[in-house]
Amino acid sequence: MTRKEEFEYNNTDFPLTPFSKVTTEAISWNESMSETNHTMVTEFIFLGLSNSQELQIFLFVFFLVFYVGIVFGNLLIVITVASDSHLQSPMYFLLANLSLIDLCLSSVTAPKMIADFFSKCKVISFKGCFAQIFLLHFFGGSELVILIAMAFDRYVAICKPLRYTTIMRGNVCVGIVAVAWGTGFLHSVSQLAFAVNLPFCGPNEVDSFHCDLPRVIKLACTDTYRLDIMVIANSGVLTVCSFVLLIISYTVILMTIQYLPSERSSKAMSTLTAHITVVLLFFGPCIFIYAWPFPIKSLDKFLAVFYSVVTPLLNPIIYTLRNKDMKTAMRRLRKWNMNSRIKS
């Protein structure tokens, strides 16, 4: 006999007073909370990308090569920009920060995904799962601001060249980067403010290779309709509005380029092509994951892989292949490294 039944049994000879009704409800609530605490989720299980052992070995090699490329490519850009005096301009300062964020963004999910290919049970702790969500949105929000800043940098350089050095001063660039990291932090906190206190007392299987808010909140033991709307309103609207703003900015820049001399216009077009390609690679998956109202599991999983592993590798390739100054600086860095080895 439960405490509630015992209480009601012992009081059957007496009429129920308001106090007794409140006491009965309190006992019932305490019992339900006790049961919930006993079944509280302490870890989540990833279903991963595939159940096939042969395919998992192939994916392990494939993503390991990709991740090594991400680390090497993005670190190379950061080191090249930091060490070469010819690249001390706002555009390359922002590019170095973009590469650093790409490296951090990929490192949130890729190492765990690669290690899990040889794990029968792909487990992550409750705190680890929400730490992953926080870091994903922190670096993702920061990258979004950096991409907007890079578009603004190109707009000033091409449309207002005489005022470029005045507008894009050193302290302005440092301020932009600080705003980017601060925006990423605020975005992450706003995403987790309500989700972290949700009751998780039942299913704990995440149909992905990492934790992300849209998938995890579906496992909560409560109605998450309002939270789904909040995710769309926060991440979805922010992503779509930023993407539209960037497209308008680059359209204005492209229209301005038409009136430039052929030599300047070809160089500007080469730089803009790289920027626009990176914007499309970053925002395309984000819009489908966070703003598309009819999610498709298989597509979402593919886009998550593209967003967290493929894009951070393509960014340094795009910027180095399309930029003569970067290629020249890397050759100087390689020569300096070879000369230093010969001398030692």
C-alpha 201: how far from its chain's center?
Answer: 27
Give the pLDDT score at 176.
94
Token pair for 210: 């990492």
Strands 205-206 and 43-46: parallel
Tens-digit pLDDT profile for residues 227-280: 878 777 778 788 888 899 888 888 888 888 887 777 777 777 877 888 888 888
User: What type of residue sits at position 210?
Assistant: H
Q: What is the pLDDT of residues 33-79, one digit of tens each?
A: 444 444 587 889 898 888 788 888 888 999 999 999 999 999 999 99
Q: How confident is the model at residue 294 (pLDDT cuts 50, 70, 90)?
A: low
Which of 184-188, 273-277, 323-327 is most confident? 184-188
Domains of the chain plus CATH, in order, are 43-322 (1.20.1070.10)
* 3-class secondary-structure state, position 88: coil
Binning pLDDT at 50, 70 and 90, where does residue 177 land? Answer: very high
pLDDT at 100: 94
Average pLDDT over residues 208-212: 87
DSSP string, 13-63: TSPPPHHHHHHHHHHHHHHHHHHHHHT---EEEE--S-S-HHHHHHHHHHH
Predicted TM-score (pTM) of this structure:
0.80
Q: What is the pLDDT, as a whole number, of residue 28?
A: 44
